[in-house]
Structure 1
Amino acid sequence: MSGLNLIQSYSSESDDIENEEEPIAKNPSEKLPIPQSILSWKGTKHHETVLDDPSKHDGRSRSFKHERGNWATLVYVEHPGDEALCAWVQGIPHKLGAASVDLKVFQEFHLSLTKSLILKFHWIESFVESVKKICKSTEKMVVEFNQLKVYCNEERNRTFLAIQCKDRSKKLKAFVAELDNLLSEYQLPPFYQEASFHVSILWCLGDAEEKLNRELPLLNESVSNFLAEQLSHKYLEISNINCKIGNKLYIFPLG
């Protein structure tokens, strides 16, 4: 029952008994009895704690605790994976052989331009408007894919295999610098100092960086052959920027 309903309920009950004799304290220091109608109220939790259950996310754990008023946020570029790319990615684990790494394919591919951030609810409107303004003043750009690289998260509990991107025009680097300036206004962490732009394609639990690095020569030969045969996958034109805040997605055109 909400606070307003509780007040309405108590008022209604008071109206029903307004003609009854009300208890009066015999002396000022004596406490009046609490009305039975109040004693019967049942409170509700202000909010429920959201528990992280890795079993529902292939063993993955949150990098930060879920709290009311905090919104998980990411600014990124969507990569339109097609059948050819997905077929090649799905074939990579079979090439590893003795590496014994349980790699899983990402359901969607993207190029991150910020770290995973925690945005306060009252920041959302101004943050979205600021990202939109940066996008409007930025021209479309193109990145080039070349080789694979292994990444491990800061907690060392997940490892990623990704295709690196070359930002030859430096436009993407300049765009991220503007985003970093915006993030500093909210005291949020900037993107990595030595930005290594990439699109993650496979992941596994734990720290498998050393194992996968041993397989990179073979895997990079595979990606070189794929990009030579599928030239449309060698370059990615960036014309839109995505900003996901909680379960809401904002798409901003460049230029």
Structure 2
Amino acid sequence: MSLVQYSDSDSDPEPQSNPSPPSSKKTHPNPTTPSLPPLPESFHDLYATATRVSVQDDPNLHDGRVRIIPHIEGNWPTHVYLQWYPCVEGQGLLYNTLVQCGIDISDRSENQVHSLLISDLGVKLPLHISLSRSVVVRTEQRFELTDALENAIKESGVLSFYIQPDRLYWSSNYEKTRWFLVLGVQKPKNDELNRLLKVTNDVLARFGQPPLYAAPLAQGQQSSSSPRGPDGSLVEDFSECFHISLAWSLSEPSAKDRERIDAINLGALREKRVGFDVVRVKIGNTRTYIPLNTRW
């Protein structure tokens, strides 16, 4: 892992030859002026994954998980997503939600439900909304795919936007080898999630990759007033599919587990606004950040 590099302009200024004498009058910082610049997008990725301790697929090293995409030379696991790094308040609301679900985030035994809020080292982890499946691209496709996504997202005209949590439920991966406790989200005002999904699906299709969702939930309910992509085609409505994963399990939840989750009142978490202004593309261990034109 490399350290963040800073330009020469960020170095300390040279001392003045005739410094002014210190003043005895106390000064106070302007409360409206931020004391530090915002962290770069790459900062939250520094500790987002554990250190690899083996080049072999060993489930014993990953809480029993089996890798769906095997390590093959020339293949690059790829994922397009939106990232949420919760603030202290948001993290507290999420912790309380897991407690209500009966999940002990400190229990790392194989048969338990595992939290996605913190790493094995106790470091807070970023959460995400997927805009693609975990797919595989070849070495020679990496830069072409990244460029295609950057151009398509820019041309889509999607601006930065907010979402709000909606409900809790259990959902499995495509292979049904893991089950996730997920936080569904309310449809954003200008349908940004569906529009970004269409852009991503369209680009990945050109590289022979499957879409994230195969068929719209609201099939047949589209109208002439439905959102359209840059090419004029209708944007399908997958609003009920978008979610944020909070925990995972190797065992399918029982009917009783599902009923308990359904009965949980999200309270203040449902009023939480989460903003997104960057689309992330992860190819192997390389991350590319595609900014959205901002509203704020």
Asked whether the two chains share a fold, i.e. TM above 0.5, the reply is yes
Query: Closer, same or farther in 2 for the Cα pair 1:239/1:165, shift >3 Å?
Result: same
- Report deviation, 1:144: 2.5
Q: Shift in Å at residue 118 of structure 1? A: 0.5
State the alpha-carbon separation in 1 of the partners of residues 254 and 152 from structure 2.
Answer: 35
Q: Are 1:126 and 2:147 counterparts?
A: no
Alignment check: 8 A CA contact 1:150 1:209 kept: no
How many Å separate the matches in 2 of 1:97 and 1:198? 20
Structure 1 residue 64 corresponds to structure 2 residue 69? yes
Distance in structure 2 (CA, Å) of the matches to 1:210 and 1:153: 18
**Which residue pairs with 2:26 in the alignment?**
none
Q: 1:155 to 1:200 in 2, by over 3 A?
A: same
Q: Tell me, in whole angstroms, the C-alpha distance in 1 between the residues paired with 2:182 and 2:284.
A: 25
| Aligned: 1:135 with 2:153 | yes
Q: Bigger CA drift: 116-125 or 187-196?
A: 187-196
Map 1:179-218; keep pairs closer than 5 Å.
179-192=200-213, 193-194=215-216, 195=238, 196-208=241-253, 210-218=255-263
Q: In the alignment, which residue of structure 1 is the partner of 2:192?
A: 171
Deviations 1:217-251 (A, max 9, x none): 332x1x1x1326xx4x2x22221100011011100
* Residue equivalent to 2:39: none
Question: Which protein has the bigger helix share?
Answer: 1
CA-atom RMSD, angstroms? 2.2
Give, in angstroms, the shift of residue 170 of structure 1. 1.8
Cα distance in 1, alignment partners of residues 90 and 162 from structure 2: 19
Q: 1:144 and 1:89 mapped to 2: Cα distance?
A: 13
**For the Cα contact (< 8 Å) 1:151–1:209, is it kept in 2?**
no
What is the percent sequence identity of the aligned residues?
23
Tell me the equivalent position of 1:27: none
| Deviation of the 1:50 alpha carbon | 4.6
Residues of 2 paired with 1:248 and 1:209: CA distance?
Answer: 38
In structure 1, runs of 5+ residues without a counterpart are 1-48
* C-alpha distance in 2 between matches for 1:96 and 1:170: 30
SS at match of 1:206: coil
Letter matched to residue 77 of structure 2? A
Deviation at 1:190, TM superposition (A): 0.6
Confirm or deny: 8 A CA contact 1:148 1:163 kept in the other structure. Answer: yes
CA distance in 2, matches of 1:124, 1:152: 28
Alpha-carbon distance change, 125 to 209 in structure 1, aligned in 2, over 3 angstroms: farther
Once the two structures are TM-superposed, the CA of residue 188 in structure 1 deviates from its matched residue by 0.4
Displacement of 1:134: 1.9
Whole-Å separation in 1 of the counterparts to 2:247 and 2:145: 31
Provide the rounded CA distance (Å) in 1 between the counterparts of 2:200 and 2:102: 41
Runs of 5+ unmatched residues, structure 2:
1-53, 104-110, 117-124, 217-237
Q: Deviations over 1:17-39 (max 9, x none)?
A: xxxxxxxxxxxxxxxxxxxxxxx
Name the CA distance, whole Å, in 2 between partners of 1:135 and 1:170.
14
Report the alpha carbon displacement of residue 211 of structure 1 after superposing the two structures with TM: 4.3
CA contact (8 A) 1:143 1:165 kept: yes
TM-score by length of 1: 0.71
Q: Secondary structure of the equivalent of 1:156?
A: coil
Please report how far the alpha carbon of residue 155 of structure 1 lies from its aligned counterpart in structure 2 after TM superposition: 2.1
Q: Distance in 2 between matches of 1:72 and 1:246?
A: 5
TM-score (ref. length: structure 2): 0.61
1:118 aligns to what SS in structure 2? strand
Cα distance in 1 between the residues matched to 2:93 and 2:129: 19
Q: How many angstroms apart in 1 are the aligned matches of 2:127 and 2:55? A: 27
Letter in 2 for 1:226: A
Give how far 1:176 is off.
1.0
How many residues are matched?
A: 198
- Matches of 2:114 and 2:134 in 1, distance apart? 21
Secondary structure of 1:63 counterpart: coil
Pair member with larger Rg: 1
